[in-house]
Every structure is written in structure tokens, then in C-alpha cells.
A and B are shown apart, each in its own frame.
Chain A
Amino acid sequence: MRKGPSWFNLTSLVFGFAFLYLPIVLLVIYSFNESRLVTVWAGFSTKWYGEMLRNQQLLDAAWVTARVAFTSATIATVLGTIAALVLVRSGRFLGRTLFSGMIYAPLVMPEVILGLSLLLLFVAVDQARGFWTVMIAHTTFSMCYVAVVVQSRLAGFDRSVEEAAMDLGCPPFKTFFAITLPIILPGVIAGWMLAFTLSLDDLVIASFTTGPGATTLPMKIYSQVRLGVTPEINAVCTVLVGVVTLGVIAASLVTKQQEARRQRDIRRAEAQG
């Protein structure tokens, strides 16, 4: 019945992906432009990368961002995984609707509202703003993303293995680390990566909740972009895009491999059983 993709489908795929990728490709190409004028091609050069590496403020901002992203992604992954377990496993409890509402709402809540409300909270409790406040803010919204990602992994979960372990006397805590966690691990890793990139990316919430000495890379990029497009910013963006792309591709390859191995193990076990 099914033939190859129709012309219409092929065309919409080509146009759709061209639209998605062309701007980024152009950005990368023009980061290697010799000229300071971003839109006039004057020959290949890597000098803007050198320029970027000599910009101390930029490097400082990158370091702050890396620390915020790493810490907030790690805490968000722990909290988000617990939240996902609660949503899928805990059945009914008082305030469940509120809980799931608080997980889903931040996914669509405008950033200006999240940023403003968190800032006002930090002011109300008299917390000096800086690294920690940005970290807490990022943890708060990215844990919701982690929860959603891990939840979808938990939904297709065969609980009989867990029950078998418990029946054989394995305590719940140990069951979680020995059985549940390895199975949902791809979801947990994807959740961590998502939390990391969300934090790496955030401008609005960080601008509201930051304080002296904690300028993040997006804030730095934003303040320079407002002054105009420069090849140096193109270079920074290219590096960021490269890092994220490599990370995502590597993670998906590892996940695919693990999944294949798991399927193989299952087949083998079934053949023996």
C-alpha cells in the first residue's frame, strides 16, 4: 500500500527543515568571517574565536553559567524524578491536583512572571541575590521539565520486576536503586540534560533573580546583542550550539545502544525461560 513519500510531503519536510536550520547555519558560517561587518563576506578566518577567548568578562560569565547550570540541573533532576514518581505511583493524596498543576503550569508560564515573582520572594525573605538565587530559580522551573520527561518513562514501566524484588525481601529503597533507577535512567539523563540546557539558555529569569557578580552568559550576550551584531557573538553562539548538538547526539546514541542491549537481554531471558 505505502509508496515512497509523496511530493507534497517531501516538499513540506524540505521547507520545514530549511526554515528550522538555515538561520543557525548562516550564524555559524558568518562566525568564520574575516570582516567585522557580519553580513559582508570577506574571507575565512578564525580570529573571532581568538578574540572571544581573550574576552575575560565573557569567560567569567560562561563560568558562572556553567556552575549554575550544573548545580541547578542536578538538584532539579533529583526533585523532578521524585515528583514524577509521586505523580505516577502515589495514587490519590490530599492536594494532588494542586501538585500536578504546579508541575505543569511552569511549562507554559511566561518567564517574566516567574522571574518577577521569584525576585519578589527573595526580596521578601531578605536573601542577597547572586549565584544561589539564580540557581534556585532555575531549579524551580527545570524540575518541572524533568518531572514530565521522567514521568513518560515511568508510564511504560513493567512493575512486576519491582514487585518480584520486594517479594523476595528487597527493601523499597534498595529496590529503587537496583531496579527502578536503571530502567528509567535514560529518562533521568535526558531530564538532566534538558534542565542543563534550559539553565544555560535562560535570560529573563536570570536577569530578574541575579545580583552583583553573577552575570550569566545569556545576560552578557544579550547586552552585547543590543549594541549590534558582532562576529565575536557569532563565535560564542557557534561554540554553544556545537556543545549542545554534540551532547544531544552523544546522549541519543548512548540511549539507543542501551535500549538495544536491554531488548537483547529481554529476548535472551525469554529464550531461556
Chain B
Amino acid sequence: MVDIAAPASEVEAAPAPKKRRSLGGWVLIAVPYAWLLFFFLAPFFIVFKISLSEIAVAIPPYLPTFDLSEGWQGIRENFAAFSLDNYLWLTEDALYWKSYLSSVWIAATSTAITLVIGYPLAYGMARAPAAWRPTLLMLVILPFWTSFLIRVYAWIGILKNEGLLNQALLAIGVIDDPLTILNTNVAVYIGIVYSYLPFLVLPLYATLEKLDESLLEAASDLGCPPWKAFWTITMPLSLPGVIAGCFLVFIPAVGEFVIPDLLGGSETLMIGKTLWNEFFANRDWPVSSAVAVILLLILVVPIVLFQNQQQRASEKNS
């Protein structure tokens, strides 16, 4: 089955030595390369450019816009009109830096909770009888194919004041008054953990499953208690899977929009939501571009770490 969450663990064999490439070989490289350059990389430069512009009542709603018909002079004037005002604005208004901080905090906390729930699950899967494993793997992957929006939506009906969780808790007498969970940060944590759990379980399961069990047997033969064997053998050896899984949860969670918007409340500050509102409600394209640039800068470090880790894992494999 598809194992997208554990991408580079077994891929990207060491590049073959340089060889003469035919014309067809070059075309093959050029097509996806050009697509990604134009539709993935180039847009970032445009975002950066617009983050230096000013909001305007126009179509498109920012100034200056490039007009090549004015020639060199026009371009120079354009550059002269660029300013860092939007970035200054981000530091002045507390909303923005609070959003960044709280996004990173919410994402980190959710990642930790996901790990606490996901590790036993992945471990249980890897230790299950071999005949069960394909089915268990399938069961983890299946929710991943199911719409993200639907899975978040499903929690609204559960967490509402008159929702199913409160009804159940009231019925068995644990609580006397319904708990307010929906539209709080707790609901956001639940939503992130729930939505991203498969991303963490899949790479973790992949490393745990490959773990050489004779090591554990040797430890137990030598009188090592199981919990100690776990901390000294299983845990360190599964670390690459833990790291890959945590990155796969943390990085997208920082910029999450749907979960804080649908499950969170007015006090839930997340940068994805702030950017969305800036763009769709305030129609301030330059400021939302500046928000995106800073978000990208925050995420560059974990993204590069993630890619290095993937690369190392694949080199070790090949």
C-alpha cells in the first residue's frame, strides 16, 4: 500500500555516476522541473515582492504593480516604492507575533500528544502477529484517505455542549454540567492530534517493524527487564521514525487553518487563521504576504532538518 509518510526511508538510492544523457533524458528532467519552478518556486518570489508593496484600492489590490511597458525607468520606480512597512506593522500589532507564538506552541503540544498516543499504537502494530499487520496498516491508512474536512467536522458533533461526548459523560454520571470543549484550544488539540495521527504512526511503524528482534531476545536472555530493553534498545533504534513522524505533524500543524477555524474559538490564535482573515476578510494582500513570508522563515529550519533527516535515512538504507 502507499506509504507516503515514510517517503525517503527506502527511496532515493545513491545517485548513479554521471553519464551521457540523451536528448530524451533531458526532456524528461525538464518537464517536471519547469512545472515546479513555475508553479511552486516562482510564486514565492511573487509573495515576497507583494509583501513589500502597499495596499491599494485597485485590481489587484496592491501597489506598485509591475508594468514593463514603462521600461527601465518604471522598474526602477517600482523598486524605489518597495518598503518594509508591512513587516514593521507585523511587529507593532501584537496580534501577529502572538499568533506565531501560539501556533508554534499549539503545534508543539499537539505533536507531543500525538507521539504519546501514536507510539503505543505503532508499537502494538509492529508487535502484532504478522498475519494481522497488513490489515492494521490498512486501517491506519484509510482515515488518511478520508477527507480532512469531514474528519474535523465529525468532531463538532461530538464536542458540542449538547454533543455526544457530553451526553455520554452526563449519562454515566461523571459530570453534572456539560463541559465546554468546542471553540476552545482543547478542541484544537484534539483536532490536530486526530487528523495527524496517521502521519506519525506510519513512519514510526515502518522503523519499528524493521527492528531486529534478536537484539531484544539477547537482552532478555542476559537478564535485562523488558522496560529497560525498551529504553535502551527499542527507543533509540526507533528514533528516526519518531523524528520523521514529529516533523510530519509539527510543520503542517503550525500553518493549520481548518482545525482552528472550525474547532477553535475566538481566543484561539493561529497564524494560518490570521493569514486567512487578513486575506479574505480584510483583503490586505501585502500584509498577508508578509505574514506568509515570516511563516515560511519560521518553518524553513524544521523543513530543512526534515529533508536532511530523510536524506540521511535513505543513504543509510542504500
Contacts and interface: CB of A to CB of B under 8 A. Distances in A.
A27 interface: yes
Interface stretch (A10-18, A49-57, A160-168, A177-185): A10-18
30 contacts: A13-B124, A20-B197, A23-B158, A24-B150, A26-B154, A26-B157, A26-B158, A27-B154, A82-B28, A83-B32, A89-B16, A91-B18, A92-B17, A104-B306, A108-B251, A113-B47, A113-B295, A116-B275, A120-B43, A120-B285, A121-B39, A149-B2, A152-B7, A156-B10, A218-B147, A221-B150, A225-B156, A225-B262, A240-B146, A245-B145
Interface stretch (B69-77, B85-93, B252-260): B252-260
Contacts of A148: 4, 7-8, 11
Contacts of A5: 124, 127-129
Interface string B182-206: 0000000000001001100100000
B238 interface: no
Contacts, number: 295
Interface string A207-235: 11000000000100110011001000110
B1 interface: yes
Contacts of B22: 172
A248 B142 contact: yes
A112 B257 CA distance: 7
A241 B138 contact: no
Contacts of A271: none
A16 B121 CA distance: 6
Interface string B13-36: 101111101101100110111011
Interface string A96-139: 10011111111111111100111011011000000000001101
Nearest to B285: A120
Given A1-B217, A92-B18, A200-B147, A10 B10 contact: no
Interface in A216-273: 218, 221-222, 225-226, 229, 233-234, 237, 240-241, 244-245, 248, 252, 255
Nearest to B12: A87
Nearest to A152: B11
B7 A121 contact: no
Most buried by B among A83, A112, A191: A112
A38 interface: yes
A121 B197 contact: no
B17 A108 contact: no
A124 B46 contact: yes
B2 A39 contact: no
Contact of A92 (B15, B160, B163, B288): B15
Interface in A72-99: 79-80, 82-83, 85-93, 95-96, 99
B142 A245 contact: yes
Interface of A: 1, 4-6, 8-10, 12-13, 15-17, 19-21, 23-24, 26-27, 30, 38-39, 79-80, 82-83, 85-93, 95-96, 99-113, 116-118, 120-121, 123-124, 136-137, 139-140, 143, 145, 147-149, 151-152, 154-156, 172-173, 190-191, 193-194, 197, 200-201, 203-204, 207-208, 218, 221-222, 225-226, 229, 233-234, 237, 240-241, 244-245, 248, 252, 255
Contact of A17 (B24, B33, B139): B139
B3 interface: yes
Contacts of B279: 116, 208
A172 B150 CA distance: 45
A203 B149 contact: yes
B120 A116 contact: no
Chain A facing B: main interface SS? helix
B285 A140 contact: no
Contacts of B18: 91-92
Interface in B105-127: 117-118, 120-121, 123-125, 127
A111 B255 contact: yes
B265 to A, nearest CB: 14
A155 B11 contact: yes
B48 to A, nearest CB: 9
Interface in B271-295: 272, 275-276, 279-280, 285, 288-289, 292, 295
B39 A136 contact: yes
B164 interface: yes
Given A155-B12, A240-B150, A99 B36 contact: yes
